Amino acid sequence: MAHTSSISPGWEFRLHRRAFDGATSSQRIYGGLNKLRPSGRAPTLSGFGSTVSHTATVMKLDLIDTVLDQSPDRIMAVKRVDPAEDYLADHFPTFPVMPGVLMVETMVQAARRMLASRGDARLVLGQVKALKFGNFVRPNETLEVEVTLDKDLGDGTYACRGTGVVRRLNAENNGGETAVSGRFTMRPIRTELVVKNVSPD
């Protein structure tokens, strides 16, 4: 969706989507989609009333390869890290590993599937608490996540708990080493857009 606005010289136009709705949690944290900068023709000193087009592009990222087990309050799912995944070229060039934010996103997507039967398949990440990272997940290894529902908070928000373990190739003891763990909430998506003009310092 394109958003167009007239702006005055010396003012910066920022488009905020309340609580970063409409993007995955990895985009909100890793991609910085909470602040969408102007794209297109920039205003000049003589450009009072100029029109600038603002376009947001949301990338879809499915991190669940297989659901191993699922019930109304628990889900187990896996994500294999494919060596061809684009982000590995930058994270990191000499030591490619799955970014921690994508580990969190894997748990979020698993939680969304677990909670979909309760009537809202568009739940998004709310809060994250007690988040811990442990072992790396490298290419050709698998992140196995388990998410459980702790509590229905009664306002469409759900408190969840998640753990992700790494399954390594050819490991003698492949019982799984903890890669990520923490508590988080899932809440209904909000669609209200808030537009702010921010005066320069």
Single-letter amino acid code for the residue at 74: R
Q: What's the rounded mean pLDDT across residues 193-201?
A: 60
Under 8 Å CB-to-CB from 116, ≥6 apart: which residues? Answer: none
- The residues spanned by each domain of the chain are 2-59+190-198, 66-187
- Under the banding of pLDDT at 50, 70 and 90, the label for residue 121 is confident
The highest-confidence range among 19-28, 57-66, 101-110, 191-200, by mean pLDDT, is 101-110
Distances (CA, A) of 46 to 43, 68, 167, 194, 199: 8, 61, 60, 28, 18
- Contact criterion met (CB below 8 Å) for 82 and 139: yes
Per-residue pLDDT of 3-34, as tens digits, reads: 433 333 333 333 333 434 545 555 444 444 33
Is 66-187 a domain of CATH 3.10.129.10? yes
Q: Quote the pLDDT of residue 29.
A: 44
Residues recognised as catalytic: 91
Q: What angle do CA 77, 82, 84 make, to 5 degrees?
A: 150
Q: Quote the pLDDT of residue 119.
A: 83
Lowest mean pLDDT among 74-78, 84-88, 107-111, 180-184: 84-88
State the pairing for strand pair 12-17/193-198: antiparallel
